[in-house]
Amino acid sequence: MRNVQGIHHVTAIASDPQRNLDFYAGVLGLRFVKRTVNFDDPQTYHFYFGDEVGSPGSILTFFPWPGARRGRQGTGQVAVTSFAVLPGAISFWVERLVRHAVKFVGPTRRDLDGSDVEYVIEFKDHDGLMLEIVGHEGAGARSVWANAPGIPSEHALHGVHAVTIRANRGTDTEKVLVDTLGFRPVRGQEGTRRFASGDGGPGTLVDVRNVGGFPSGVSGAGTVHHVAWRVDDDFMQLDVRSQVAAAGLQPTPVIDRDYFHSVYFREPGGVLFEIATDSPGFDIDEPIERLGERLMLPAQYEPMRARIEAALPPIHLPSQAISSVENE
């Protein structure tokens, strides 16, 4: 059996593109690693935020539809996306969220198995997307974007820590995670079971929270569209796809997303899962030092560039967005 290696990226829905850029590149200090379009709707941006090179596991992406209706969190969704920091960075993030008038809860302490501890700050972005900053000793093994103004590298976000799925019947979702994707259970507490893959550190974790009787989520701004799991290469992706098909989950064919290759399927609880390759990466069409500075289009849309650029709302470059936030 082939196992996925953890979280590749999380994709969510936003409304105003500039506000989304200001919050994630400005307040949270993630690098704006790619500005492209929704391959299925080229008059809509697709933003990618991450570490210096957009390493798998560091990436949070958005479809920002101007004026998008607010979604509703519920079952059948990834409800919470958590970022990893070192425990010593928690006080910095409390102060930073206060300075930018971002409401939050915490920090609170989560005692895991043995001596394993997490320190958690809960908050939301402007669209209501549920987020956490989690202080964990294992964060130091993950890379950061070290050049965000106002955020010392020792306090920067170390990629995605975990995702939390809300499920009506968690056992169905858990079966797919374990039997099809190769996750392993690591703990259970207060209606939530945690699963890990790979080395079991930040970036490999998924919590399944049983909330039977809650209404189903409704897609819209402030909700997660899908979560992608990492595989090393195309060969491993095909093996995992075969496992998904054998489980009767009807995966799509492999789809070329330029920066990685993708296979999609829905798990029984309704969450859209993606299997994404680590390569080729975000520097195939831009040098690393210039990532995110220019609108990059897939080849099929390049002849339509003028029309697409005219339809997309103007946005500031990340450096300008960060400066405007820092000067508020």
- 7-326 adopts what CATH topology? 2,3-Dihydroxybiphenyl 1,2-Dioxygenase; domain 1 (3.10.180)
Domain boundaries, the chain: 7-326
pLDDT of residue 320: 42
Tokens 């169905």 sit on residue = 172
Predicted pLDDT at 114: 58
- CB atoms near residue 112 (< 10 Å): 13
pLDDT band per the 50, 70, 90 thresholds, residue 44: very high
Tens-digit pLDDT profile for residues 253-277: 999 999 999 999 999 999 999 999 9
Strand order in the sheet with 130-135: 104-111, 117-124, 130-135, 77-85, 160-167, 205-210, 192-196, 184-189
Q: What is the pLDDT of residues 89-120, one digit of tens each?
A: 999 999 999 999 999 998 999 887 656 789 99
Tell me the longest C-alpha to C-alpha distance in the chain.
58
Distance CA 22, CA 319 (A): 10
| pLDDT tens digits, 59-77 | 999 999 999 999 999 999 9
Q: How far apart are CA 13 and CA 36, in angstroms?
A: 15
Place of tokens 């990059």: 296
Nearest to 80 by CA among 23, 25, 122, 110: 122
